[in-house]
Amino acid sequence: MIRIGEIDHIVFRAVDIEAMQRFYCDVLGCHEERRQDEIGLVQLRAGASLIDLISIDGKLGRFGGAALGEQAHNVDHVCLRVQNYDEASILAHLAAHGVRIGEVGSRYGAEGEGPSIYLFDPQGNMIELKGPATI
Confidence of residue 72 (pLDDT cuts 50, 70, 90): low
Reported CATH class of domain 9-130 = alpha beta
Q: How far is 12 from 55, CA to CA, in rounded Å?
A: 9
- Average pLDDT over every residue of 104-123: 92
Helix (H) or strand (E) holding 52: strand 49-55
Provide the whole-model pTM: 0.80
pLDDT at 38: 92
Please give the radius of gyration of the chain, using alpha carbons only, rounded to the nearest integer. 15
Confidence of residue 73 (pLDDT cuts 50, 70, 90): low
Q: Is pLDDT above 60 for 2? A: no
Map out the domains of the chain as residue ranges.
Answer: 9-130
- Average pLDDT over every residue of 48-59: 89
